[in-house]
Amino acid sequence: MTTTEASNENEIKGTLRVWWIPQVPMNSFYVYVKTIKEAKLIIQVLADYDTFQFENKVKPDYSNVGGLQVYDGEEWIDWLCEECDDDIDDCVCKEAM
For 5, residues 6+ apart whose C-beta sits below 8 A from its C-beta are 30
Cβ contacts of residue 85 below 8 Å, gap of 6+? none
The whole-number pLDDT of residue 7 equals 54
R_g of the chain computed on alpha carbons: 14
- Check residue 81 and give its pLDDT: 76
H helix runs in the chain, sequence order: 36-55
Which stretches in the chain have pLDDT values below 70? Answer: 1-10, 85, 90-97
pLDDT for residue 43: 95
- The pTM of the full predicted model, rounded to 2 decimals, is 0.81
Residue 7: what residue type?
S
Q: What is the pLDDT of residue 59?
A: 86
pLDDT, position 86: 72
pLDDT in the model for residue 5: 55
Query: What is the spatial distance between Cα 93 and Cα 5, in angstroms, rounded to a whole number?
Result: 30
